[in-house]
Structures are given as C-alpha cells and as structure tokens.
Amino acid sequence: MPTTHNEPTPVVLLIPAKPLHQAKTRLRTSLHLPVEVESLVAAMFNDTLTAALQCPTVENVVVLTTDPRLHENARDSGAQVWGKENPQAGLNATLRRASSELHRRGSRIAVIPADLPALRSNDLEAALVAAGSHRSFCADRRQEGTTLLVTGGRQLHPEFGRGSALAHALSGARGLAVAGESLRTDVDTAEDLLAAGVLGLGEHTAALLRSRLALASFDPSAAPWLAP
C-alpha cells in the first residue's frame, strides 16, 4: 500500500545477533548474579524483537544470526531469519550484504542491536519517524556506540564497532536527538543492565532474572527494579 505524505515510509528492520556462546564477553566478567549469560542474552534478544515487531513503521524484521536458539525464537515470533553466507564475516560486512539485497528490492532499511531489553516500540517509532528521508543514527546513552542506523533511501554504509557514533556522524549520518532512553540503552555490562532495569525491562528479561534470583535466594530488595 502506498504511503501518503503524512505517513512514514515503512522500514525493514535488521537485527544482527552473535551466536550465544560468543556474545557479551564484558557482561560475563561484570555480572555478579546467579544467571547464565547465554540465557540472559537470549531473553534480551526476545525483548528487543518483541518491541521491534510491535513498531507500526516496521513492516518486516530480519534477524541475522547463525545461532539455532535465536533462529527458532525469531521464526516463532514471525520474523525472517537470514544466516551468513560467510560465517567469518564481520558485523559490517554482514549488514552490507543484507542491506544491499534489501536496497535492490526498494526497501527502506534500519538496524538495531539485539541487546535492548528495555526497548519500547514507541521510542523506536519516534526515531524512525524523525529520521524521515535522511540517513540517520541514534547514539547509545554514553554517546559512543550506535543503537539505531537508518537509511535515507540509499545504501546503509554501516560503521559499527568501537566509537561507531562518531564514525557514523563523520560518514554523513544525522544524529537523532529525539530518541527515547529505551532505544539508547543497550547492555554490554552489569551497569548497563541496571540502567535498563531502571527504565523497565521487557517481560522475558525480567522474568528470567526474577526466577533465577528467587532460586538463589537472592535478596529482592537489592534489585527493586525487578519487582513485577
């Protein structure tokens, strides 16, 4: 269905996700909770995916992963799953390949990471609308990384990695100042998880943490942000 001048152009949203056993090395060393990191990463992925699928402007979600557990979760949620032609390819190479294919189909493309457990669909929607026809990005809460990259009808040109916010700005992408905090709060460390918890975790991440901490007789007063 064609859009009117008052409606944002629909977006195909890419969510790249590492195999669980390779993900979140910094979180593994900083998380002092009785929680298996792989299960936590999967829960954060599920919450990110849930919010993405609820975003009105997102017409399709494509998960880029070779992990069988994440593949099944994504498929069961209604997302498409694309594996890697080259499992050794880095994130930017994988995104360039996927975005080139979608660009040939005429799709507007966006990318978010798989570790946004507090993501609200309205925050994502507001950022996609604000991006309009411009190639745009959202910096993380530390103003260092990137939690959203949107094409402006051209190629994606991803610059993910250390200092990606600056790299995307230098490449000509426009920074989005209106992005909500839930879109800016990705989780790489235990401190990040606390920040996401203060905003309000999605149901998968919150339920996992509550159940694991209860089994370990963890004092719930030490994590009031996990209260149901």
**Predicted pLDDT of residue 128:** 95
Q: Is residue 225 assigned to a domain? A: no
CATH number, domain containing residue 58: 3.90.550.10
Q: Is residue 139 assigned to a domain? A: yes
How many domains does the chain contain in total? 1
Q: Is residue 45 assigned to a domain? A: yes
54-105 per-position pLDDT tens digit: 999 999 999 999 999 999 999 999 999 998 656 667 999 999 999 988 888 8
Query: Can you give the residue range of the structural domain that contains 159?
Result: 11-214
Whether the predicted pLDDT of 5 surpasses 70: no
pTM over 0.85: yes
Q: Is residue 28 assigned to a domain? A: yes
Long-range contacts of 194-199 (CB under 8 A, 24+ apart): 194/225, 195/141, 196/116, 196/117, 196/118, 197/118, 197/223, 197/225, 197/226, 198/225, 199/118
